[in-house]
Amino acid sequence: MRIAVDAMGSDNAPLPEVRGALKAEVSSDVEIILVGDEPRLKSALGTTTARHKVSIVHASEVITMDDVPMLAVRKKKDASLLVAMRMVKQGVADAVVSAGNTGAVMVASRTILRPIQGVARSAICQLLPTMKGTCLVLDLGANVDCSARHLCDFAEMGVVYSREVLGKDNPRVGLLNIGEEQAKGNDLAKTVHRNLRAAPHVNFIGNVEPKALYAGAADVVVCDGFVGNVVLKTSEGAGALIRHLLAKELRSSWISTLGAILSRGAYKRLKRTVDPNEYGGAPLLGINGVVIIMHGACSHVGVANAIEMACLAVKHEINKHIEEGISELRDTVAHLDGSLSPLGRRANNA
C-alpha cells in the first residue's frame, strides 16, 4: 500500500510530515511517498537509516494557506498537493494525506479525483471525544448549504466509515437538531428525519441535541457544513477555555499545585483525549480516492495517525461500500417520493 503525503502543506512543513512518515513507516508495512521540494525533504530526512519504505517525489510549487483555492489549483500545476492527487488518480498511490489549504484540498479532490458515483456532495468528517468514547460528525465545512439528499448522503458515508474503518458495528446515526422531538427543526430537517427513519440499513436514532452529542448518544451525527464548522470551532474554543481555567486554578494555591503534581498522569491522559492529533485527521468522504485532511498545526503524531487511518480506509474499500450504500438509500427515498409533499420532493431531488 502506498500513501502520498503532501509534505509541504503544514504550518511547519516539512518537519512534521517527514517525522510522521518515519514514525508510520516503522510501525507498518506501508510505503510512504513524500511529495514536495526534494532538497528540503532530503535535508529533513538527514542520514536516518529508518527510511527504506519512504521515498521522495519532487514538486516545485506549494499552495499556501493564503492562496485562493480555485486559482491556486488552476495555476500551480506542479504544487505538491496536486502532484499527490494525480498520483492517486494514476494509480501510483492509494491515498493522499495533506495538512495544507483545506479549500484547495477540496477543490483538487473534486476536479482531479472526482466524486464517487451517486454522491452529490463530499463531506469532511472528524471524530470528537464524548462521555462514551468518540462520535463521528459530518459535514464540518465542505458544504454550507445542503439539501435533504446531501444530508442523507452524509449519514450513509458516516455509517460506512464508522463501521469499516472505526470498527463500530451497526453505528447509531443522529441528526443534529434543536430538539429531540421529530417535529423539531425546519422542513429540511423533517424531510431528512423521515428519509433516514425509512432506510432499513441505517440505524437512525432520530434527532440529537448538541449536549447529547457530547454525552455519546450517537456514533455518527449529521449536519450541514455551516453548523458542523461552528460545532467544531466552538468545541476547540471551549477546550482551550477549560485548559486555561484549570491551569489558573491549579496555580492559585500551594495545595492546588500539589494536587496538580499528584494528578499529572491523569492530566496527560486528558490532554491526549482532546488532542486532534490522536484522531487521524479529517477524511474527505465521497471522493473517488482516499483523502485525509489534517490541521495546519498538526504534529508528527498527527501525520502518522492520519497515514494509519488512510491505510485502514483503503484496506476496507470504503468507497465501494459508500457507493453500494448510496444506491440502497436512493431506492428507499424513491419509494417515499409518492407520499412526500412537493416541498419534500424538491428537497430530496435537489
199 secondary structure, DSSP code: -
Residue 25 has pLDDT above 60, yes or no: yes
Is the Cβ–Cβ distance between 7 and 80 less than 8 Å? yes
SS3 call for 91: coil
For 314-332, how does the pLDDT look when each residue is reduced to its tens digit (9 = 90+)?
999 999 999 988 888 888 8
Instruction: Please report where in the chains the cell 492527487 appears, as a residue.
Output: 85
Which pLDDT score, from 0 to 100, does residue 255 have?
86
**Which domains occur in the chain, in start order?**
2-120+279-321 (3.40.718.10), 123-274+322-349 (3.40.718.10)
Report the half-sphere exposure of 331 (CA within 13 A, side-chain side).
Answer: 8
Dihedral over Cα of 83, 88, 93, 98: its sign: positive
27 vs 19: CA distance, rounded Å: 13
Where does the pLDDT of residue 273 fall: very low under 50, low under 70, confident under 90, or very high at 90 and above? confident
Where does the pLDDT of residue 346 fall: very low under 50, low under 70, confident under 90, or very high at 90 and above? very low
Question: What residue spans of 36-186 are helical by DSSP H?
Answer: 38-45, 69-75, 80-89, 102-108, 148-164
101 vs 64: CA distance, rounded Å: 6
Helix 148-164 vs helix 187-198: crossing angle, to nearest 10: 40
Helix (H) or strand (E) holding 225: helix 225-250
182 vs 196: CA distance, rounded Å: 12
Residue 264 has pLDDT above 60, yes or no: yes
Amino acid letter, residue 6:
D
SS3 call for 33: strand
Q: Hey, what's the cell of 293?
A: 485532511
For 184-222, how does the pLDDT look when each residue is reduced to its tens digit (9 = 90+)?
888 999 999 999 999 888 999 999 999 999 999 999 999
Is the Cβ–Cβ distance between 129 and 274 less than 8 Å? yes
For 151-162, how does the pLDDT look when each residue is reduced to its tens digit (9 = 90+)?
999 999 999 999
Which pLDDT score, from 0 to 100, does residue 345 have?
45
Supply angle C-alpha 54, 280, 273, rounded to 5. Answer: 130
Q: How much of the chain, in percent, has pLDDT values that exceed 90?
A: 64
- Residues whose CB is less than 8 angstroms from the CB of residue 74 and which lie 6 or more positions away in sequence, other chains included: none
The mean of the pLDDT values for the chain is 89
User: Alpha carbon of 52 to those of 15, 49, 266, 301: distances in Å?
Assistant: 18, 7, 38, 20
